[in-house]
Amino acid sequence: MKPIVYTSLLVLCLTFSCSSEVNNEHQPPNNTKLYFPTVNSDTWETLTVSELGWNESELQPLLSFVESRGTKAFLILKNGKIVVEWYGNGADSNSNFPWNSAAKTLVAFTTGIAQDEGSLNIYEPSNTYLGNGWTSLTTQQEDIITIWNHLTMTTGLDYSVPNNNCTDPECLIYKNQPSSFWYYHNATYTTLHDIVAGAVGTDFDSYFNDKLKSKIGMQGSWIPFGYFKLYYSNARSMARFGLLNLNKGVWDDTDILNDKEFFNDMINTSQNLNKAYGYLWWLNGKDSFRGPGLTLEFQGKLIPNAPNDLFAGLGKNDQKMYVVPSRKLVIIRMGDDAGEALLGPSSFDNELWREINKLIN
C-alpha cells in the first residue's frame, strides 16, 4: 500500500555493552509548543522531513525495513505533528490492532486518575477493593500486597503456575514476600481492572472511556480474551495516548492526570529489582533490566540504540509506543511480530532504532 508520508515530495536485545548514564528528568530541550489534534476529528497537522532537517534519503529505506518486518502501521510525531504515517501489509488508517501488553500503560494511567480523584491510594492493600480471598493466601498475607505491587510487578505471587494469566484464587499462590522480587506476572496486572472498578464504583471500561479515552479523542475498545482484556484501536489512537504522556498527562491545556507525583513515578524506576520498569511502562537508559518470562537480570540499557530518556509501552508481537521527551518524539509501530513472538521488549526494538536514527540524526 502506498505510504502516507509527510515529506517534501523493535529474543531480548542482548547488545548490552552500550549502557550509559541514567536520565530521569524527561525534560524537552526546547520551547517549541506541542501541537494537539482536535478531539473527535481526523484533522492532524503535519511536518515534513525536510522542514525538520532530517535525512530524506533515509526515509524510504526505513519504510522498506518496517514493511519487511511485518509492520502494518508506523507513525512518527515530532512536536505533536505527524511527520511519517505509513500503512502496509494489508492495513490502512482505519485498521484496528491489538495493543497487547502496551495497553498496560493505559491501565497504569487510569489507576493514576482514580488516585487523583481520591477513589484509591496505590499504597492501600489491593484486597480493599478485590475483597478477601482473591488469592489462595491467608488474609494476613493478602493484607500486605498493595496496589503499588500490582503496578510494579512485585506482588510476590507464584509466576510459575501453569497459566500465568489465570486470575482464579487457586492460580494465585504465595511464592515471595511482596516487594522482594520482580516478575512479569500478567494475572496480577489484570486484577488492576477490578481494583479500579471497585474503587470508582463503576466498571473499568466505562471509567476509562469517560476519564481518558473520550478526553483525548481516542477510539477503540477493550475486548475480553480469556482471563484478560485486550485493547484494540487504530494507530492514531495509540499516537494520541503517546502524545498525552509526552506532555506529562496534559492534553493541550487540560489536565487528564493532575497527580504529577504519580505521573513522574510511573515513567521512572519504580523499584530497584528491575530498574527499567516504572508503573507498567518500560524505561530506557538504565544500567540493567529484566524481561518478561525471565528471572535473570541483564546488564546494559534496554534499547542501546534509543535515547536514554525513552519510555515505552511494549506489547506482544512487537506493538511499540515510544515516547522520547528530549526529542519531543512519539513513535508508533503496530502489526505482526517482527521475528520473535515475545511479550514485550525484543531485539527488534534495537534494530528499529538503528534505522530510525539514520533518519532523524
**pLDDT for res 28:** 39
Q: What is the pLDDT of residues 87-102, one digit of tens each?
A: 999 999 999 999 999 9
Q: Is 162 helix (H, G, I), strand (E, B) or coil?
A: coil
Radius of gyration for the alpha carbons in the chain, expressed in angstroms and rounded: 20
Cα–Cα distance for residue pair 61/175, rounded to 1 Å? 48
Asked whether the beta carbons of 316 and 344 are under 8 A apart, the reply is: yes
Which is it for the CA torsion 180, 182, 186, 190, positive or negative?
positive
pLDDT at 343: 78
Q: pLDDT per residue over 13-31, tens digit each?
A: 333 333 333 333 444 345 6
DSSP H or E stretch at residue 345: none
The beta-strand segments (E) located in the chain are: 4-5, 71-78, 81-87, 97-98, 221-225, 228-233, 250-251, 254-255, 282-283, 288-289, 298-299, 311-315, 319-324, 329-335
Query: What is the number of residues in the chain?
Result: 361
Take residue 198 and report the three cell numbers written for it.
Answer: 471497585
For position 245, what pLDDT does the model report? 99
Question: Rounded CA gap, 71 and 333, in Å?
Answer: 7
Q: Is the pLDDT of residue 188 over 50?
A: yes
* pLDDT at residue number 107: 99
Mean pLDDT of the chain: 93
At 20 the pLDDT is 35
Cell of 235: 494507530
Residue 11 has pLDDT above 70, yes or no: no
Cα 40 to Cα 34, 84, 218: the distances in Å are 18, 21, 8
**Based on the number of CB atoms within 10 Å of its own CB, is 48 exposed (0-12), middle (13-18) or buried (19 or more)?**
middle
Helix (H) / strand (E) element for 108: namely: helix 104-116
Q: Which residues of 323-341 are buried (b: 16+ CB within 10 A; e: fewer)?
A: bbbbbbbbbbbbbbebeee
* Torsion from C-alpha of 60, 63, 68, 71, nearest 10 degrees: -170
pTM to 2 decimal places: 0.92
Res 122 pLDDT > 80 = yes
Q: At 71, list the grid cell.
A: 509492520
Task: Give the span between the Cα atoms of 120 and 201, in whole angstroms.
Answer: 11
Contacts of 194 (CB under 8 A, 6+ apart): 129, 130, 204
Please report the pLDDT score of residue 356 as a whole number. Answer: 99
Whole-number percent of the chain with pLDDT over 70: 91
Which triple of cell numbers denotes residue 35? Answer: 501541537
CA of 266: how far to CAs of 37, 46, 235, 247, in Å? Answer: 25, 29, 23, 14
What's residue 90's pLDDT? Answer: 98
Query: Which one-letter DSSP state was computed for residue 136?
Result: S
Domains of the chain plus CATH, in order, are 4-100+202-360 (3.40.710.10), 127-191 (no CATH)
Could you give the CA distance from residue 2 to residue 77 in angstroms, rounded to a whole number?
Answer: 19
DSSP summary character for residue 122: T
Helices 186-200 and 104-116: angle between axes, nearest 10 degrees: 30
